[in-house]
Amino acid sequence: MKEGKIMGKKRTLTDESKWGYILIAPTIIGLIVLNVYPFIQTLILSFSATHPFGIYEITGPQNYVRMFESREFWKATWNSIYFCILTVPAGLFLSLITAVLLNAKLKGKTAFRAIYFLPMVVAPAAIAMVWKWIFNAEYGIINQMIGTKVNWLTNPSLVLPACAVVAIWSAIGYDAILLLSGIQNISKSYYEAASLDGATKIQQFFRITLPMVSPTLFVVLIMRLMASLKVYDLIYMMVDQTNPALTNAQSLMYLFYRESFVAGNRGYASAIVVWTVLLIGIVTALQFWGQKKWVNYEV
């Protein structure tokens, strides 16, 4: 009798496992078809010379040799890293402050949440068009307010910071909503106990809110680093190809676009993609290594 129960239990577990595999199959298949297989093809192309009609031949590491010897490539790499430096710290800080304010007892905070999240649902092309008008040297709002004619988008030293402002503005709402969900999961008993001990709001923020929301902050940090390192659409729409400051704004993904779809060097462009993936992997690995020092997973 016991053996029959055990055997029946084993069959039930096996059936559950099968259903589990069936349910996750669409996701796994989509991951393989849309992500894994294209990346393998890109890796192969990075060691190849491409020809018309999809023909390619393996040529070895020539694309990588050319890439590492190119000043344009290293400039694009630095532009991508510099864009991260400009956007990630400031974006996280402003998003966290916004999340804390949205969590406070304010009238109409639901409307404010919708307003801050609105840039995420607006087409990037529309956002770029509006900000190009704002940064316009002749009739832009910023120059009208400060009474000068600064060439924000054509000055080599200002073009990338100008694009960074747009990127931060666009992402604050989304990141703030994620951080707000983490803040709202913090038990109110911690704040009540801190208030009884005489802790101020600032002390509560640094000793309760910040440590308890650090896991969510870490996830947002990883997402924002990845998005910043592979930025393309914003720069493409903000900086024209005839812009004299293009070299100072060109990211790795922008360089990939030019080499692949404009010049037709798909092998060289694939090498740029592999380098970008490697760079993202290194930065992400460093973040996971460093999280032990500041991310608090204890409840």
Q: What is the mean pLDDT of residues 89-111?
A: 86
Distance CA 130, CA 118 (A): 14
The span from the CA of 65 to the CA of 91, in Å, is: 36
**Is residue 122 within 8 Å of residue 196, measured between CB atoms?**
no
So what's the pLDDT on residue 93?
95
What integer is the mean pLDDT of 141-146? 89
What letter would DSSP give residue 39?
H
Q: What φ, ψ does residue 56 adopt, rounded to 5°?
A: -145, 160
Q: Is the dihedral of CA 274, 280, 283, 289 positive or negative?
A: negative
Is residue 7 scored above 60 in pLDDT? no
> At residue 3, does pLDDT exceed 60?
no
CB atoms within 10 A of CB 105: 5
pLDDT of residue 13: 53
What's the whole-number average pLDDT of the chain? Answer: 88
Return the pLDDT at 4.
Answer: 47
Q: How confident is the model at residue 8 (pLDDT cuts 50, 70, 90)?
A: very low
What number is the average pLDDT over the span 287-297? 87
103 pLDDT band, cuts 50/70/90, is: confident
- One-letter amino acid of 199: A
Q: Say what the pLDDT of residue 298 is.
A: 66
127: which residues sit within 8 A by CB, 6+ positions away? 119, 166, 170
Q: Tell me the β-bridge partners of 105.
A: none
CA 100 to chain centre: 22
Nearest to 80 by CA among 158, 173, 164: 164
Residue range 230-245: average pLDDT? 91
- Show the beta-strand stretches assigned E in the chain: 48-50, 56-58
Residue 1, pLDDT > 50, answer: no
Residues 6 or more apart from 88 whose CB is under 8 A from it? 221, 224, 225, 228
Q: Burial of 122 by CB count in 10 Å (0-12 exposed, 13-18 middle, 19+ buried)? A: exposed
pLDDT at 115: 79
Exposure b/e, 171-194, CB count within 10 A at least 16 = b: bbbbbbbbbbebbeebeeeeeeeb
User: At a CB cut-off of 8 Å and minimum separation 6, what does 214 contact?
Assistant: 294, 295, 296
The confidence score (pLDDT) of residue 88 equals: 95
Residue carrying the six token digits 């059936």: 15
- Tens digits of residue pLDDT in 22-65: 889 999 999 999 889 999 999 999 999 887 777 788 888 999 99
Name the pTM for this structure.
0.86
Q: What is the mean pLDDT of residues 276-293?
A: 92
Q: Residues 6 or more apart from 7 whose CB is under 8 A from it?
A: none
Instruction: Identify the pLDDT of residue 182.
Output: 92
